[in-house]
Structure 1
């Protein structure tokens, strides 16, 4: 029987976690899949561990090595090009999955014939597991930006030219936006969270908190979307959702990743965000999503955060709030 799913696992500095990840993939309840491990010039022993799996289970695991460090997004793209199955899944190498993970997604894909199958994930923070579930709406394509915990038809990705950003932080925002704009048929596993997202304090996203530059990465992602033609000829509904997600990501960057950065630095960050927003979105006043704290299908926490942040900004009351955040 041919392979039905290709699992793409980029690896970089995950020597502590990669065996758990690959073991969880080896324990799947179906057999019709392949695991494509790609060593992105990792300086540790990640490739050696993956090599043990590919040597012991050559019909299931394949190991490749990048000649230079590509970054997560471009390594995933290489994995797609190497894949031999009609369906694609991504798993980050410090995460792991339930034994029925592939079986659950593949069964839903076959039953629904969807181009994208979307599931939940369970957050693992020092052994404390908290499940998170998507909603059965377009928000699960664009706002629920995780590229993992989803299954994709390879033909859809190729036919629509879906690719990752060259920015090396927040690649999933770009990827999810491209998929959303391509209008795929999709199915949502509303009560399944068999993907275990391990909170790795040394990951790229976590380290962004240390240099406090996440808003710059996000700006680069949306600039690339704009240059890539994502905004061209998009209907108002899509543009409104893109703009809302831009602000949701920027508010998160300011409030979560800006904590303790100091008053002067925070003023610079806030000025940068709203100046950059003005270059991309010309008429935010016409966007109803920015004026409602309750958006059907979207996280209330996110929608409330965007609503309050923009309301304060419109009334020139946001600086005291951000000054407070900068001191936390």
Structure 2
């Protein structure tokens, strides 16, 4: 029998996290789903552990082994190609779903007649402490399609998506930020988008993980992300496109650029190019949704205060506390 939902999980060297992720899937109160795990050429015992679990679990499980490591974007694309569900959701192997994730997301996407459903999340830290990461206050005020495009979450893991939306759209094969590029494109195609006030996804914060370390490659990936979005954007929703650029280039890429000691000339070039195309970006109506620290950073960008931007970046971990 065809499952309603396909849960797609990329896996790379994550043997210590696999049991928890699978256990949480076994606890799901919604049962019409399959699990598609794509191992991205792990060098630890991930595949062996997955094969053992496959024999014991009650889950409908498909395990795909790649013979070359190519990053989570490609792993997810392969998962989507092999998915049989009408809807797809995504989970990172070191994170997990709350027991009602699939049930509530499926009920709401049906009840709201939507093609994409978003939920809130919570952060789980190594010491066991948790912090909710809620967008409810924003989406209580901003409910139009352009609002969702501008203010959407930056992770596919917080979404349930009608699988057909991925027709002619693939996730970029980047090492960082591939979700940033694909989510707005999916939302452009969606007839309706919804959001629910439940923290259903738990993101495990690994402070020393490779993906959390700013690099010159992650700077370039963010630049590429926005280029992909621009190239596939329609003429409408110009405020949303501009705001995506503000978040992706002027904030995230510039911040990572300074953290990773990217050549200042390259950083200035990205700021200059965006400013030439969007001379009034600082008047964008969605800027009011940004936090005070984000707004401060963008003011430094606007006035080209590079010394202070560099200082902000170096002490970012302190500012975030």
Normalised by the shorter chain, which TM-score bucket? 0.7 to 0.9
1:315 aligns to what? 303
Deviations 1:219-266 (A, max 9, x none): 12223334xx224534422332232222232244257xx1xx6xxx46
2:130 aligns to what? 129
Task: For 1:177-326, list aligned pairs within 5 A.
Answer: 177-190=184-197, 192-206=198-212, 208-209=213-214, 211=215, 213-226=217-230, 229-231=231-233, 233-246=235-248, 247-254=250-257, 258=259, 265=261, 268-269=263-264, 271-280=265-274, 282-287=276-281, 289-290=283-284, 294=288, 298=289, 300-301=290-291, 304-316=292-304, 318-325=305-312
Change (3 A) 1:179 1:252: farther
Report the secondary structure of 1:189's partner residue.
strand
Change (3 A) 1:155 1:175: same
| TM-score of the pair, normalised by structure 1 | 0.83
CA contact (8 A) 2:37 2:64 kept: yes
**C-alpha distance in 2 between matches for 1:324 and 1:13:** 35
Report how far residue 19 of structure 1 moved: 1.0
Q: What is the aligned length?
A: 305
Report how far residue 41 of structure 1 moved: 0.4
Report the secondary structure of 1:30's partner residue.
coil
1:29 aligns to what? 29
Which ranges of structure 2 fall in alignment gaps of 5 or more residues? Answer: 316-321
CA contact (8 A) 1:123 1:131 kept: yes
Root-mean-square deviation (CA, aligned residues, Å) is 2.5
CA contact (8 A) 1:244 1:290 kept: no
CA contact (8 A) 2:7 2:34 kept: yes
Change (3 A) 1:326 1:98: closer
Report how far residue 95 of structure 1 moved: 0.4
Task: For 1:63-102, list aligned pairs within 5 A.
Answer: 63-102=63-102
2:318 aligns to what? none
- Aligned counterpart for 1:156 among listed residues 165, 181, 186: 165
CA contact (8 A) 1:94 1:200 kept: no
Report the secondary structure of 2:194's partner residue.
strand
CA contact (8 A) 1:41 1:67 kept: yes
2:8 aligns to what? 8
**C-alpha distance in 2 between matches for 1:215 and 1:232:** 25
More displaced stretch, 143-152 vs 82-91: 143-152
Change (3 A) 1:205 1:196: same
**C-alpha distance in 1 between matches for 2:216 and 2:129:** 26
Report how far residue 278 of structure 1 moved: 3.2
Report how far residue 15 of structure 1 moved: 0.9
**C-alpha distance in 1 between matches for 2:108 and 2:286:** 34
Report how far residue 59 of structure 1 moved: 5.3
